[in-house]
A and B are shown apart, each in its own frame.
Chain A
Amino acid sequence: MTSDIAQLRQHAQEEASRFPALLARADQLAGTVLLGEHGRRRAGLGDDFWQYRPLRPGDTWRSIDWRRSGRGDEQFVREREWQIAQSVQLWVDGGASLRFASDRNLPSKADRARLVALAAAILLVRGGERVGLTGWALPPRNGDVQILRLAEALAEEGEADYSAPEARGMIPHARAIFVSDFLGDLDPIEAALTKAADRGVRGVLLQVLDPAEENFPFAGRTIFQSVGGTIAHETLKAGDLREKYLARLADRKARLDHLSRLTGWHYLCHHTNDSAQNALLWIWRAMDGGHG
């Protein structure tokens, strides 16, 4: 029993030691965005009040702010646009296929995916949104503690080579961020997106790819293996496969793009050798555009 506890504690410490780094990096990344574009504009967002506007036809009487309207002849409506926070649900692929980096100097795809997702989460929480994971594991909440919970949840790694998004528990009209390499089977993704669209959930698809996956710089006789080791493919002339591989990859991207358009989502392909900030900015804009 004691050993179990000790082990648990040790694991917890190991895990915890990872978070600050990820959190710090994510925080830093999020900080650049806040300062860069939206920092001033968002000040005071936490208040209930946003603005008074004149009564327009169609507004219910209940919505009139009588205290303000009593000072004059006109009726004003107290706008409470931000009072109901959006729920944003994240899905970050925990599959083994993301634990891959073609070069020692590049971060692994999983690393990048977590970083971008967490940074987006921080931004959103600071913007007053509620952020959680898809499924029932971590429902959307706000507050800094939620970020810690998110970081913990994101650190979990799946065993399977390729994993499918958890489409259950989608909150209607919420927002979603799906981060994966989208190299596995596309059907579950399509199903998830369709289901989300049915519930009025919109969001972004961020595809994180390694440059090697984009360029296929291989030649000679090669046995390709998936990271989990479940799939292998042997070729005698890897160089000859390049064209076909690239064509298939392009097909896949096109399909994702098409799918996202159909369902009102946004799609971006991000490479690990690019700056993470690009991806974050893009996510922010895509989400922000949704608010507009």
Chain B
Amino acid sequence: MTLLGPLGFTAPWLLLGLLVLPVLWVILRAVPPAPIRRLFPGVVLLLGLRDEDQVTDRTPWWLLLLRMLAVAAVIVGLAGPVLNPEEDGQVAGSGPLLVVMDASWASARDWRAEQMALESLLARAERESRPVALLRLTAPEPVQFQQAAVLRARLTGLRPEPWQPDEPQIATALDLLPESGFDSYWMSDGLDRDSRAPLLAALEQRGDLTVFESPRSLYALHPARFEEGHVRLTARRLRAGPETEVQILGHGLDPAGNPAVLVRAPLTFAGDATEAELDLSLPAELRARITRFEVEGARSAGAVTLPDDSLRRREVALIAGSENREGLELLSPLHYLHRALEADADILEGALSDVLPANPDVIVLADVATLSPAEAQGVTDWLDQGGTLLRFAGPRLAGSDVSRETEDPLMPVRLRAGGRSVGGAMSWGEPKTLAPFPEDSPFAGLAIPEDVTVTSQVMAQPDPTLASRVIAQLTDGTPLVTRKRVGQGQVVLVHVTANAEWSTLPLSGLFVQMLERLAISAMPATPAPEDLAGTVWQPVRVLDAFGAVGDAGTLPGVAGEDLLAAALGPDLRPGLYQGEDRSLARNVVTQETVLEPMMWPDSVPVEGLSRPQETPLSGWLLALAIALLLADVVASLALSGRLRGARAAMVLLLALAVAPVQGRAQETAADDFARAATAEVTLAHVLTGDARLDEVAGAGLRGLTQTLFFRTSVEPAEPMGVDLERDELAFFPLLYWPVTPSQPQPSAEAYAKLNEYLRSGGMILFDTRDADVAGFGAASPEGRKLRELAAPLDIPPLEPVPQDHVLTRTFYLLQDFPGRYNSRDVWVEAAPPDAELIEGMPFRNLNDNVTPVVIGGNDWASAWAVEENGAPMVRIGSGFAGERQREIAYRFGVNLVMHVLTGNYKSDQVHVPALLDRLGQ
């Protein structure tokens, strides 16, 4: 390959062809353009005229130039020019080549570029028949030199891991390295790590080492903190540079439950700064919904941070039994709770019935003994849905009868009357201290200060369940804190007061810690590892190296102490972990993470990934040549007067003008249809494609329309046929759908329209027209077709029309619904299972809305059908009995339309006697 600056040629000898160009110039100049033959009667007048320029009419210089350029482009294009060709010298050599990849979260930002670099590297290795091995430092595997082609096939499956290679992985990698005899190629993620040094030394000792590193900046986002009422986000970049603005996105579920970007805010790195902060002021509701923050477009797990419960402030409702102790703030039952909670929780105060609708996370009842039945019910419901009820004892509780004989649903234990006092002036015993917390208690592991003493408490009745409900007890074995689960929530009783009257517990730090353990206050952003000892955390969602959040699937749980302290790795993936009461996020970038660019020693050549990619140019040049030749055609035509530019332009303009006209025509048609259908109430039938059937259906609806017009205040317009695929259905109160075995199945869009129609109160009357030969069911072809047609429809459970269905009395009192045939198999939406006959009422109170479908086989349209002149179209039965049947059929039609238009109005008439009664008549 010959090189010309950044340009290389695969077949440079072809360029000699350019020498021909001057010759071509002369030839082209000498040859005049081909003459045009024209008929011209005026030629007589031309006879004898001579051209002034005796030399041939030359092609204009610019046309010549155009042609020269085209030819030149062809020649150069065929010579195979390549922009930025791969140079042979880059990883020159022979023998095995080891590609070492950091493949960490930081590599993810340029992973595509790295893959392409690797691809071309492998391509060259393939050409040179060098065996290649791949070693990913984040997940080291035994080094196996193999053909580059084999590796290339695996290339697309190569992924970075969302952690970084640390000492253990490097150590493994060092063990896996062959002894000697290979060159290495290190694709670095650009971050400085202490663990690099030994590997660097080892690789340099075994052969030549080249490093690839992306010059692009790397962004990292520290975990979000909640400080001073703001969400504080800190971002870092790897290298200081000019002032840069990045967008921070907060993702979460919007109120409709769809993933959305809830917050978007710009974060500006000042010039030469590697760190920038952003304060987001977010309402608590929004804050609680955010599931992750990320730097827009960074595509790296480091630029994503998952907030755990630390951002979520709990809502705690504080309710005290006795509020009116003015001035004695320190004695207020809520004072210490206030102090303990106000830092990390939103506190609600007010009456219990007022705070319940706010659905707080926790309700604290301080010395509240009895709740009204309504309140108790409300609290119970709230508990079922996962609330935490924290009760403190006190004189009122001790003196009340709550949970005395039987266990109160809102108390974890039964209480003995009166409670007890120890260590007071009038008692013998010493004040009691706390016993160490049992292992299975949520307080397990908390240190107990010496000075926490208890002088009074309420006593639990010894019940069989007591032992399992105690989660903290005094040294004498009496319960201090008891807990029971109610539904998804829990009730916790602290057997002392929430102020310092009965114990010194509220004065100690233990009180706050216990509240935290009960998940009543939000915990500090990073709990100490020892706090989590012995707990197991289940991953819920995990991050991949690109920062995408995925489901954790069946990943095993992680021990609490490891969750915080251990380095990220295959066993501890970054993500969100769920513990007993709360979730903890393990992010790639922690508060302590510092990004330092790697400084490679001078002996190691470093290449950037930004090296322009090899671009073959032949295609472009040949395309250019074709374009030039096309231009030449146009120019030559214009020169020789053969170009009918105006005509061509006209054709083009016409083509452009025709298209929108068609669109407008369609629109008008739809508008006309809507106008026709909505001017009056209009009945409609579904066009089946069977001409005779459609005619009868239309005539039937015409007959029904006339009947309605004569007998009722419903005065519909002419009925319409509806094409399900094309027409809007929402305009029609009633669709009559005759079923034939041959009609086509509507499309998915049509079904969507039909379902929408049914949901918004429309009614479809299905008519299988076979009641003479088939009982209702799948026995007839129409019945089977009906099943097919109705399967995708959103149809509720059905039942045969009950005696007291509102259809029997919306206008006429009917018990039969005949059409051309008189079958009683007419089905409507089933009554709700709890509908029952009330004493003294003639009807049950049935559905509150219109039945969306009526299904039968009586061929109503035939009975209704009239000719244009008003004469019946189809003979029904025989003689007077037949005419009577037709009359009943009309009455059914009237009832049906009335039912559609008035809904349950007639059902509500049931209440009229009661209403009149109430009005005093």
Q: A235-B51, A236-B57, A237-B51 are in contact. Are A220 and B45 (CB under 8 A)?
A: no
Q: A224-B46, A240-B52, A245-B46 are in contact. Are A234 and B35 (CB under 8 A)?
A: yes
Residues of B within 8 A of A220 (CB): 33, 35-36, 57, 639-641
How many whole Å from A194's CB to the nearest CB in chain B?
22
CA–CA, A109 and B40, complex, Å:
12
Q: Are A224 and B40 in touch, CB under 8 angstroms?
A: yes
Q: A221-B640, A234-B35, A238-B641 are in contact. Are A100 and B41 (CB under 8 A)?
A: yes
> A97 in the interface, Cβ–Cβ < 8 Å?
yes
Q: A218-B641, A219-B639, A233-B43 are in contact. Are A241 and B35 (CB under 8 A)?
A: no
Residues of B within 8 A of A184 (CB): 44
Q: Which of A219-274 contact B (CB under 8 A)?
A: 219-227, 231-238, 240-241, 244-245, 248-249, 252
Q: Are A245 and B641 in touch, CB under 8 angstroms?
A: no
Give the contact-size bracket for chain A: 35 or more
How many whole Å from B69's CB to the nearest CB in chain A?
22
Q: Are B32 and A221 in touch, CB under 8 angstroms?
A: yes
Q: Which of A17-50 contact B (CB under 8 A)?
A: none
> A66 in the interface, Cβ–Cβ < 8 Å?
no
Across the two chains, which residue of chain B brings its CB closest to A251?
B45
| Most chain A CB within a 10 A radius of its CB, from B32, B36, B45, B56 | B45
> B881 in the interface, Cβ–Cβ < 8 Å?
no
Q: Are A245 and B33 in touch, CB under 8 angstroms?
A: no
> A136 in the interface, Cβ–Cβ < 8 Å?
no
CA–CA, A226 and B43, complex, Å:
6
Residues of A within 8 A of B47 (CB): 231, 233
> A106 in the interface, Cβ–Cβ < 8 Å?
no
Q: Are B53 and A248 in touch, CB under 8 angstroms?
A: no
Across the two chains, which residue of chain A brings its CB closest to B43?
A224
> A212 in the interface, Cβ–Cβ < 8 Å?
yes
> B49 in the interface, Cβ–Cβ < 8 Å?
yes
How many whole Å from A5's CB to the nearest CB in chain B?
36
Q: A97-B41, A227-B39 are in contact. Are A221 and B33 (CB under 8 A)?
A: yes
CA–CA, A108 and B36, complex, Å:
21
Q: Which of A94-117 contact B (CB under 8 A)?
A: 97-98, 100, 109
CA–CA, A162 and B43, complex, Å:
11
Across the two chains, which residue of chain B brings its CB closest to A222?
B36
CA–CA, A99 and B26, complex, Å:
43
> B42 in the interface, Cβ–Cβ < 8 Å?
yes
> B38 in the interface, Cβ–Cβ < 8 Å?
yes
Q: A221-B33, A221-B34, A221-B640 are in contact. Are A226 and B41 (CB under 8 A)?
A: yes
Which secondary structure dominates where chain B touches chain A? Answer: loop
Q: A235-B46, A240-B53 are in contact. Are A221 and B36 (CB under 8 A)?
A: yes
CA–CA, A232 and B45, complex, Å:
11
Across the two chains, which residue of chain A brings its CB closest to B640?
A220
Across the two chains, which residue of chain A brings its CB closest to B47?
A233
Residues of A within 8 A of B641 (CB): 217-220, 222, 238
CA–CA, A154 and B325, complex, Å:
129
Residues of B within 8 A of A129 (CB): none
Across the two chains, which residue of chain A brings its CB closest to B45?
A248
> B37 in the interface, Cβ–Cβ < 8 Å?
yes
Across the two chains, which residue of chain A brings its CB closest to B636?
A220
**How does the 8 Å CB contact mask read for B639-658 relative to A, with 1 for contact and 0 for none?**
11100000000000000000
How many whole Å from B651's CB to the nearest CB in chain A?
14
B43's contact among A232, A236, A252, by CB below 8 Å, is which? A232
Residues of A within 8 A of B46 (CB): 224, 233, 235, 241, 245
**How does the 8 Å CB contact mask read for B229-258 relative to A, with 1 for contact and 0 for none?**
000000000000000000000000000000
Residues of B within 8 A of A225 (CB): 37-40, 43
CA–CA, A55 and B32, complex, Å:
82
How many whole Å from B23's CB to the nearest CB in chain A?
23
Residues of B within 8 A of A222 (CB): 35-38, 641
| Most chain A CB within a 10 A radius of its CB, from B42, B44, B52 | B42
Q: How many residues of B contact A (CB 8 A)?
A: 25
How many whole Å from B579's CB to the nearest CB in chain A?
88
How many whole Å from B58's CB to the nearest CB in chain A?
10
Q: A219-B641, A220-B639 are in contact. Are A236 and B41 (CB under 8 A)?
A: no
> A198 in the interface, Cβ–Cβ < 8 Å?
no
CA–CA, A232 and B47, complex, Å:
8
Residues of A within 8 A of B42 (CB): 183, 213, 216, 224, 245, 249
Q: Are B640 and A249 in touch, CB under 8 angstroms?
A: no
Q: Are A236 and B56 in touch, CB under 8 angstroms?
A: yes
CA–CA, A245 and B48, complex, Å:
11
How many whole Å from B704's CB to the nearest CB in chain A?
59
Residues of B within 8 A of A98 (CB): 41
How many whole Å from B37's CB to the nearest CB in chain A?
5
Across the two chains, which residue of chain B brings its CB closest to A184?
B44
| Most chain A CB within a 10 A radius of its CB, from B35, B46, B639 | B46
CA–CA, A227 and B39, complex, Å:
6
Q: Are B40 and A237 in touch, CB under 8 angstroms?
A: no
Q: Are B39 and A236 in touch, CB under 8 angstroms?
A: no
CA–CA, A225 and B506, complex, Å:
119
CA–CA, A248 and B46, complex, Å:
8
Residues of B within 8 A of A181 (CB): 41
How many whole Å from B522's CB to the nearest CB in chain A?
87
| Most chain A CB within a 10 A radius of its CB, from B33, B34, B41, B49 | B41
How many whole Å from A51's CB to the nearest CB in chain B?
49
How many whole Å from A190's CB to the nearest CB in chain B?
16
B45's contact among A227, A240, A245, by CB below 8 Å, is which? A245
Residues of B within 8 A of A244 (CB): 49
B41's contact among A213, A232, A248, by CB below 8 Å, is which? A213
Q: Are A223 and B38 in touch, CB under 8 angstroms?
A: yes
CA–CA, A238 and B34, complex, Å:
13
Across the two chains, which residue of chain A brings its CB closest to B40?
A224
Residues of B within 8 A of A223 (CB): 35-38
Residues of A within 8 A of B44 (CB): 162, 183-184, 226, 231
CA–CA, A283 and B857, complex, Å:
85
Q: Are B36 and A236 in touch, CB under 8 angstroms?
A: no
CA–CA, A109 and B34, complex, Å:
29
Residues of A within 8 A of B51 (CB): 235-237, 240-241
Q: Are A236 and B45 in touch, CB under 8 angstroms?
A: no
A236's contact among B37, B38, B40, B53, by CB below 8 Å, is which? B53
**How does the 8 Å CB contact mask read for B41-78 relative to A, with 1 for contact and 0 for none?**
11111110101110011000000000000000000000
Residues of B within 8 A of A235 (CB): 46, 49, 51
| Most chain A CB within a 10 A radius of its CB, from B37, B40, B47 | B40
Q: Are A183 and B45 in touch, CB under 8 angstroms?
A: yes
Across the two chains, which residue of chain A brings its CB closest to B639?
A220
How many whole Å from B333's CB to the nearest CB in chain A?
103
Q: Are A227 and B57 in touch, CB under 8 angstroms?
A: no
Residues of B within 8 A of A234 (CB): 35
**How does the 8 Å CB contact mask read for B17-39 relative to A, with 1 for contact and 0 for none?**
00000000000000011111111
Across the two chains, which residue of chain A brings its CB closest to B42?
A213
CA–CA, A159 and B47, complex, Å:
21
How many whole Å from A101's CB to the nearest CB in chain B?
10
Across the two chains, which residue of chain B brings its CB closest to A95?
B41
Residues of A within 8 A of B36 (CB): 220-223
CA–CA, A218 and B45, complex, Å:
15
CA–CA, A218 and B641, complex, Å:
6
Residues of B within 8 A of A237 (CB): 51-53, 57
CA–CA, A273 and B220, complex, Å:
79
Across the two chains, which residue of chain A brings its CB closest to B52?
A240
B38's contact among A109, A183, A224, by CB below 8 Å, is which? A224
Q: Are A219 and B640 in touch, CB under 8 angstroms?
A: yes
Q: What are 7 A-to-B residue pairs whose CB atoms are below 8 Å?
A: A161-B41, A213-B40, A224-B40, A237-B57, A245-B45, A249-B42, A252-B45
Given A235-B51, A241-B49, 13 more pairs with CB closer than 8 A? A181-B41, A218-B641, A219-B639, A221-B35, A222-B641, A223-B35, A225-B43, A226-B39, A238-B641, A240-B51, A240-B53, A245-B46, A248-B45
7 closest Cβ pairs, A-B complex: A97-B41, A220-B640, A236-B57, A221-B35, A224-B43, A224-B40, A248-B45
